[in-house]
Amino acid sequence: MRKGLQNLENSENRNYKILAVDDEEGIIDSLSIFLKRSGYEFTGVTNPEEAIQKVKNEHFDLMILDFIMTPFHGDQVVEEIRTFNKELYILLLTGHKDLAPPLETIKRLDIQGYCEKSDKFDQLLLLIESGIKSIAQMNEIKKINEELKNTNEKLEKAYLESIQTLRFTVEAKDSYTRGHSDRVSEYSVLIGKRLNLSEEDLKILKIGGLFHDIGKIGVPDSILLKESKLTDDEYSEIKNHPSIGSHILSTASIFQDIIPIVKHHHEKYDGHGYPSQLKGNDIPYFARIAAIADSFDAMTSRRTYRDSLPIETVIAEFERCKGTQFDPEIADIFLDILNNHFDEIKEIQEKYK
């Protein structure tokens, strides 16, 4: 049965074309053997200029790119490719972490991930598998988007249906995400109402909350469902989910309003969050609201490794972290809800037990 599942997986992988670029012939040969064995359609080149031309003239789903190459480096290759192709999923290989390009460059060029070169390809395969899952969802969203150009009424209906379809895909992987996303959505709207936001803004908060963890579709199940403590590498994979989610949604114009929530709900007010280390008012406003709703639900939900925290502890934590983790003004609004209108919180919790 295991062999049958592997054959099925390899068969599905044949739908995806991977281009590898490395000026070392031996690396290309090794990747060729490794990825073809995994079922992917593989092309390898040693010349960066040839790679750029191939991306211009052929379709590839994912590129594996060496950083240090001649006649120019991998970030220069990406710089050129991004002038005509914004969607190609790119993974960067580095000889050593110290030789990786600056984080600012990686973000600016929308490089989805990078890892060090190794005799083993386990970490690279993990990144590829996550990338392929993201690409599959992007392709599905493109398909949906192409079908949504008739009337505004049909657009709205299909928009909501597509959100539910993709959200249920995530929920099927992680039962915690199911009630969590619903509650984060409603808590966000509750805060938004106290902030006197418009109905349109409340709708963005609602949908953004439902969809904020969609990037977990690109996190391997072995990590997402692990009950024991995560390793540093595994935690790094988990921390990729906001960027994965925003990348999944980026090709569809109908999702643009919620992307800031999806991408930045783990930023911290003092700039020590992720994925972009944004600080203060640089963090999108709706993402600051969702961050409070998300953290509250995480603290008050029972997990495999701990029970839910008492509400007194939660209140004390929000008091302690306002101005560092949380926007202090929004945190004060939420603290007022917790202290004086907790019946509204309890109603949401009862609704999504």
Given strand 113-116, what is the order of strands in its sheet?
A: 41-45, 17-21, 62-66, 89-94, 113-116
Is the dihedral angle over the CA atoms 183, 186, 192, 194 positive or is it negative?
Answer: negative
Clarify whether 353 is annotated catalytic.
no
Q: At what angle do helices 342-351 and 175-194 cross, to 10 degrees?
A: 150
Cα separation values, 191 from 240, 261, 327, 333, 341, Å: 27, 15, 13, 7, 11
Closest CA to 204 of 244, 256, 152, 257: 257
Pick the catalytic residue from 133, 216, 263, 268.
216
In a 3-state reduction of DSSP, which class is residue 45? strand
Q: Side-chain half-sphere of 137: how many Cα atoms within 13 Å?
A: 26
Given a contact cutoff of 8 angstroms between Cβ atoms, the answer to whether 62 and 128 are in contact is: yes
Which residues carry out catalysis?
216
